[in-house]
Amino acid sequence: MLSGNSIGRRLVLTSFGESHGKCIGAVLDGCPAGLELEEKDIQKMLDLRKPGQSLVSTQRKEGDVVEILTGTFRGYTTGAPITMVIWNKDQKSIAYEKLRTEMRPGHSDYPAYMKYKKFNDHRGGGRFSGRLTATHVMGGAIARKLLKDTIGVETNSYTTQIGKIKMKKAAAKKEFRSIYTNEVRCPEKNTAQKMKSVILDARKKGDSLGGIIESITTNLPVGLGEPIFGSLESDISKAIFSIPAVKGIEFGSGFAGSEKFGSENNDAYVMKGGKVSTKSNNSGGILGGISNGMPITIRIAFKPASSISQIQQSVDIKKKKSIKLQVGGRHDPCVVPRAPPVVDSLVALTIADHALLSGTIKPTL
């Protein structure tokens, strides 16, 4: 499939809409018939990424109320494309007018202007807005439910680092339930406190912070994924890099693993009650691109949000001259706390895609 607005092979998500247009939405095609599905199943997850919930995120009020337009009948999916929309509200496009020619550093303004010329809908970032990740969640909420209801796979992610503040170690399964007990989505209570305060400092300075999200997927069957170009790492990373602020990803021991010896990094096999398992999980649950039954562990690097209110050096693309630019509007001092549902969505979509490809999940339930 040619377009950059769709992802997936057997379960295909097509994202549409603009940040300040009539709506944003998605078509999820290939979802099996017979999955119980109501709007609240999707809304729940959308609410977790919704902005305006606390000072750590933007103060824009985005209702983000999802409406299912097609693909369900009497509370179940039909096998037809599932179309979902969020009708946009509360846009202040005026603030963006001068940005047509004044390029915001770190934003897509400049390449978008060169690629689409004057035709690009720049308002609120248009297609490039982080707001579009809500369309990932629309599809991801369904994929996540499909995985859980059929084969019991669960995807969880959380904030493990903000700026220089880091969690002491990866979260244990039992800690997943406390991810959403705080605004920064970090299961370590004290670390969460510190994270919040560095974010609020950045906000005061009109600056922004980045961070790292950790994603753990449990209860996977052995054998999902394909050698060469269909590896789980290939497909998951392609999906994750659709999040505007993501600039890095690693699986299992990742970058740290490249400093180790093979004898340290190889995960020894053990038999546990007739079931094969590994002592360590440096592979992150993926060998040769295929799931080995251990949890899939991913770490994702987010850059600090490009939108800051400090004065920055830039250019006016039309006047072809240097300028001092100060960007108004309401920004996220840190987008990381809003990212876990998006990451969960993209991981779930990819794994559900492979589960359908391999016949692990049937096209009609």
Residues 129-168 within binding reach of a copy of itself (CB under 8 A): 132, 161, 163-164
Q: Binding site for NADP(+): which residues? A: 49
Cβ(239)–Cβ(342) below 8 Å: no
Whose Cβ is closer to a copy of itself: residue 174's or residue 274's?
A: 274
Assign 207 to helix, strand or coil. coil
Pairing of strands 72-73, 76-77: antiparallel
Whose Cβ is closer to a copy of itself: residue 118's or residue 174's?
A: 118
Whose Cβ is closer to a copy of itself: residue 30's or residue 51's?
A: 30
Contacts of 67 (CB under 8 A, 6+ apart): 39, 84, 85, 86, 87
Please state the separation of Cα 50 from the chain's center in Å: 13
Rounded Cα distance, 151 and 154, in Å = 9
Q: Is 22 exposed, middle or buried (0-12, 13-18, 19+ CB in 10 A)?
A: exposed
Q: Which of 42, 56, 128, 182: binder of a copy of itself (CB under 8 A)?
A: 128
Rounded Cα distance, 2 and 9, in Å = 12
Q: Which of 89, 94, 111, 173: binder of a copy of itself (CB under 8 A)?
A: 111
- Shortest Å, Cβ 227 to a copy of itself: 4
Rounded Cα distance, 25 and 15, in Å = 6
Whose Cβ is closer to a copy of itself: residue 98's or residue 238's?
A: 238
Q: Which of 101, 148, 241, 329: binder of a copy of itself (CB under 8 A)?
A: 241
Assign 11 to helix, strand or coil. coil
Whose Cβ is closer to a copy of itself: residue 119's or residue 174's?
A: 119
Cβ(13)–Cβ(28) below 8 Å: yes
Tell me if 215 contacts a copy of itself by CB under 8 A: no
- Shortest Å, Cβ 174 to a copy of itself: 27
CB-CB neighbours of 205 under 10 Å = 12
- Shortest Å, Cβ 169 to a copy of itself: 17
Assign 159 to helix, strand or coil. strand
Q: Which of 42, 45, 46, 79: binder of a copy of itself (CB under 8 A)?
A: 79
- Shortest Å, Cβ 30 to a copy of itself: 5
Tell me if 244 contacts a copy of itself by CB under 8 A: yes
Chain residues 8-67 in contact with a copy of itself, contact rule CB under 8 A? 9-10, 12, 14-18, 21-25, 27, 29-30, 33-34
Angstrom distances, CA of residue 349 to CA of 144, 154, 230, 307: 7, 12, 14, 29
Assign 106 to helix, strand or coil. coil
Rounded Cα distance, 69 and 50, in Å = 21
Tell me if 6 contacts a copy of itself by CB under 8 A: yes
Whose Cβ is closer to a copy of itself: residue 69's or residue 94's?
A: 69
| Sole window of 55-63, 104-112, 149-157, 178-186 interacting with a copy of itself (rule: CB under 8 A) | 104-112
Whose Cβ is closer to a copy of itself: residue 9's or residue 148's?
A: 9
Chain residues 271-330 in contact with a copy of itself, contact rule CB under 8 A? 271, 274, 276, 278-279, 282-284, 287-293, 301-308, 310, 312-315, 317, 320-322
- Shortest Å, Cβ 350 to a copy of itself: 11
Q: What is the largest CA-CA distance in the chain?
A: 72
- Shortest Å, Cβ 59 to a copy of itself: 17
